Amino acid sequence: MFTGIIEQMATLKSMEKEGENVHYIFHSDLTGALKIDQSLAHNGCCLTIVDLWPEQNLYKVTAIKETLSKTNLRDWKLEDQINIERSLAFNGRLDGHIVQGHVDVTGVCTSIENQSGSWKYSFQYNTPDLTIEKGSITINGVSLTVVDAGVNHFSVCIIPYTYEHTNFHSLKAGDEVNLEFDVLGKYVSKYLKVYENK
């Protein structure tokens, strides 16, 4: 369980394919606080730490075929900056919203508008509509509020701090992002579909 509040960006240093799996090695100053078997969200995708080299600030995670097919991990390149977040500790405040680290679908950034102090990003996706204005959305692991919502598209606004401390600053129109819709909204949507089919 996560909150969508990014702790830092990790740098991808190595990729190794083994069968259908891909092993990723990252450099991060958080490595000394990590442990093997720990869950760590990468661009909103929950991955398990399988190896650590604390003296070099390196750690390793593995993605299976299912994960690669449904997320933007398949497009990662060496030296990419990836948003990371450790799992939620239940002894503090929930500053973002409840995030599972399970990517629902990938979306595409359709436009970026500089609004003189903030940035408005618009996205499109190809699943049933699950966004509402002022609702929560997770984009590449970042907890955000929807400002505009339509059928299969929505927008969010980014403040300078988020722009500088996540990989939003490197996002371009046409880039693919990981989306996780609000978990409460997903349950409501599922319930309504079941109810309608009765």
- The CATH number of 105-196 is 2.40.30.20
For position 198, what pLDDT does the model report? 66
Q: Does 8-86 match 105-196 in CATH topology?
A: yes
**Contacts within 8 Å (CB) and 24+ apart, 167-174:** 167/9, 167/43, 167/80, 167/81, 167/82, 167/83, 167/140, 168/119, 168/121, 168/140, 168/142, 170/81, 171/109, 171/112, 171/121, 171/140, 172/109, 172/112, 173/109, 173/110, 173/111, 173/112, 174/108, 174/109
Mean pLDDT calculated for residue range 104-114: 96
Q: Where are the domains of the chain?
A: 8-86, 105-196
Contact call for residues 174 and 108 (beta carbons, < 8 A): yes
Task: Count Cβ atoms below 10 Å from residue 194 Cβ, excluding itself.
Answer: 9
- Predicted confidence (pLDDT) at residue 128 exceeds the cutoff of 90: no
pLDDT tens-place string over residues 43-57: 999 999 999 999 999
- Residue range 52-99, pLDDT digits in tens: 999 999 999 999 999 999 999 999 999 999 999 999 877 777 777 888
Domain spanning 8-86, CATH class? mainly beta
Per-residue pLDDT, averaged over 96-117, amounts to 93
Whole-number pLDDT of residue 96: 79
The backbone torsions φ and ψ at residue 194, rounded to the nearest 5 degrees and listed phi first, read -65, -45
Whether 39 has a pLDDT exceeding 90, the answer reads: yes
Does the pTM surpass 0.85? The reply is: yes
Closest CA to 180 of 125, 105, 124, 81: 105
